[in-house]
Amino acid sequence: MISEIQDGRFRFRVYLPHASKVELVGGFTRWRAGAIAMTRQEPGWWELVCDVPHGTHEFCYLVDNSVWLADYAAHGVTLAGYGGWVSRLIVRQPRVPQAA
């Protein structure tokens, strides 16, 4: 699942208690070339907080270097060219701080 946190970054979480490694891959990471390692949180959650540029992006979780897992709690999923499903993340324009 994904959620935007107060500072404008995004939290990615996925429950995979039997995984030994989970990475976030997507258009904003250049897919495998810039994969970002997620951190294991007990009892089996994997988590990452990161910046994502504004726009519409596709992403997946790469599990144990071999399984591509879509996040069905994201902003939708789409069928990728290779035949598997990828998640969609829509990042709106950055918020402009209001003057006091």
Per the CB < 8 A criterion, the answer to whether 92 and 8 are in contact is no
Closest among 52, 83, 61, 57 to 14, alpha carbons compared: 61
pLDDT value at residue 72: 93
Residue pointed to by tokens 């701080």: 97
Domain 2-91: CATH architecture, name and number where available: Sandwich (2.60)
Tokens for 73, please give them.
């709690």
Mean pLDDT split into 10-residue runs, the chain, 100 residues: 89 97 96 96 96 93 96 91 89 64
Burial letters 7-44, b for 16+ CB under 10 A, else e: eeebebbbebeebeebbbbbebbeeeeebeebebeeee
